[in-house]
Amino acid sequence: MPEAMDVRIPVLAVVGVGLIGGSFAAALRRTGAVGEVIGVGRNAASLAEAEALGLIDRAATAEQAAAEADLVFLSTPVGAMPAVLRAMAPHLRAHAVVTDGGSTKQDVVAAARQGLGECVGQFVPGHPIAGSERSGPSAADPNLYRGRQVILTPLPENTPASIARVESAWRACGAELFRMDPARHDDILASVSHVPHLVAFAFLTHLLRRGDAVERLGHAGSGFRDFSRIAGSSAEMWRDILFANRDAVLAEVGQIQQVLEHYAALLRGGDAEGLEALLAEAAALRRDWLSGIAH
């Protein structure tokens, strides 16, 4: 694991030790690059579980963690970030770097500016494109980020050294790094994550409206299982993500409605050739994409 040579984190603080934060701690701990892991969170039972699982060494307040940490990883809901960062700001060590794992970036940047004020240069926003429909400390997995993408959306105030430290921590977790403007990040993630989630959730809402959803689902197969997997995700988390990226999400939903209308028109009009051409083009895009990735 040669990447471990580049990263030295005497004290790592993880705020929100669930799937995302716990996996980050577990992955870094395994490289040997981390001295101590401090866990911060509102839920005492979760912190106790994280400690029992060996994800963290001890629990502390946000203030205590800020005073000790070399790297702070935030995996709280975005709504909780300004208060956490405000509590941390006066105590942050001068060389400390703060990063996050949030699924949207424009709102995280706003929250960081609000919470950190003049210290915002210490905050390097990031998004690991990895997850699971499971959650909590018990879902943490040191391999969660292996081979996955992490997109950083650095601020003008960030120093190259701060960005490089966050990048080497992620590389040590096995991730592949990208940099992007926060608005572009949110626009792309709307397409390939947020709106697919919304559509999958909406499909189940549609089935529920039919009244006999349970009987219908009784005959669903593996295609439906995979198509709908992301609709088993946390409602609270996805409510936040969809609102955080509302404009891009709404624009895409409108476009998808137009595409569905186009499909319906071809069916209604009996245009078999036109429909097959659309289906073939879609299938080719999907196959090309799949052959280009190494999942």
The one segment of 37-45, 64-72, 156-164, 264-272 that binds a second copy by CB under 8 A = 264-272
Q: How far is the CB of 48 from a second copy (least distance, A)?
A: 25
Contact flag: residue 216 with a second copy (CB under 8 A) = yes
Q: Of 14, 192, 211, 294, which lies in the binding site for a second copy, with binding defined by CB under 8 A?
A: 192
Question: Should residue 198 be labelled a site residue for a second copy when binding is judged by CB under 8 A?
Answer: yes
Site for a second copy in 218-247 (CB under 8 A): 219-236, 238-239, 242-243, 246
Angle, CA 277 vertex, CA 272 and CA 281 arms, to 5°: 150
Please report whether residue 149 would count as binding a second copy according to CB under 8 A. yes
Measured over all CA atoms, what is the biggest interatomic distance in the chain, rounded to whole angstroms? 68
- Restricting to residues 60-119, which ones interact with a second copy according to CB under 8 A? none
- Using CB atoms within 10 A of its CB, is residue 275 exposed (0-12), middle (13-18) or buried (19+)? middle
Report in angstroms how near the CB of residue 172 gets to a second copy at its nearest: 20
Separation between Cα atoms, residue 43 and residue 15, nearest integer Å? 11
5 part of the interface to a second copy, by CB under 8 A: no
Q: Could you tell me how many residues of this chain bind a second copy (CB under 8 A)? A: 90
* CA gap 198, 205 in Å, rounded: 10
Is there binding between residue 130 and a second copy (CB under 8 A)?
A: yes
Among 2, 44, 210, 211, binds a second copy (CB under 8 A): 210
Closest Cα partner for 170 from 214, 128, 198?
Answer: 128
User: Strand 71-74's sheet: what is its strand order?
Assistant: 58-59, 34-40, 9-15, 71-74, 97-100, 123-124
Q: Which is nearer to a second copy, 52 or 208 (CB)?
A: 208
Contact 170, 101 (CB under 8 A): no
Nearer to a second copy, 80 or 207 (CB): 207
